[in-house]
Amino acid sequence: MKRIILAGVTLLATSAIFAQSSGTNSNAVLNVNVSSVKSISVSSGSTVNINLDNTEKFTNAAGTAGVDGDLVSTLDVISSGAYKIKVSLASNATTLNNTNSSAQGITTIPVDYIYLTVSNPRQIVPNSVVPSAAYSNTRQNLINKDAALIATPESGIHNGDAGTSGTQYDVKYTLANYPAVASLAPGTFTATVVYTITDL
């Protein structure tokens, strides 16, 4: 009985050795090439109106209560790595100008009276990593300023959540603290707001 068992074990071992030596190997190189990508777009709310059409709104615009725009602008942000977003007016403008050439009264609104508030960050791609970016969730005068509207904290530059595969932010505009608001000439005051995303 013992000899039969030993013979069976020997045959199995020989078969296993033969199977292992019959295979061959071949290699392939897999590269993931990562480029620096920064993208920002206004996906909704590209035209915002602050309507001064009753006595309460003129009073609010003159003080801290302010008058909000009728819409929020939604920013779509994509960034490979840490980023910052700044806000300016196009063509280095510093005022919103009345489009009515025959207007009587003050015909410009200094940008210093326009405030921005960021809220509601949400991922465009479900279950993607939420970036650690900080933003102004209270009313701030940030147009034409050095301070960023949204930015990855310095401490997060090397963290896994420094960039974003797609985050949306809502931006609200408010006209406030403008004591001369009642002297504005009737008409539409306009300027183009530019959002710029760069490396931190």
Identify the pLDDT of residue 142. 96
Side chain identity, residue 107: T
pLDDT tens, residue order, the chain (200 aa) = 333 333 343 334 444 554 556 789 999 999 999 999 999 999 999 999 999 999 999 999 999 999 999 999 999 999 998 999 999 999 999 999 999 989 899 999 999 999 999 999 999 988 887 778 999 899 999 999 999 999 998 777 776 668 899 999 999 999 999 999 999 999 999 999 999 999 98
Closest among 62, 68, 76, 75 to 48, alpha carbons compared: 68
Identify the pLDDT of residue 21. 60
Side chain identity, residue 98: N
The two tokens of residue 35 are 């480029």
Find the distance separating the first CA and the last CA of the chain, reported in whole Å.
78
- pTM given for the model: 0.84
CA dihedral of residues 162, 164, 168, 172 (deg, nearest 10): 30
**Greatest distance between any 2 Cα atoms in the chain:** 117
Q: What CA–CA distance (Å, rounded) separates 48 from 44?
A: 10
Identify the pLDDT of residue 157. 74
Q: What HEC string does the chain produce?
A: CHHHHHHHHHHHHHHHHHHHCCCCCCCCCCCCCCCCCEEEEEEECCCCCCCCCCHHHHHHHHCCCCEECCCCEEEEEEECCCEEEEEEEHHHCCEEEECCCCCCCECEEEHHHEEEEEEEEEECCCCCCCCCCEECCCCECCECCCCCCEECCHHHCCCCCCCEEEEEEEEEEEECCCCCHHHECCCCEECCEEEEEEEC
Cβ neighbours for 150, distance < 8 A, ≥ 6 positions apart: 75, 77, 83, 84, 85, 118, 133, 134, 135, 136, 169
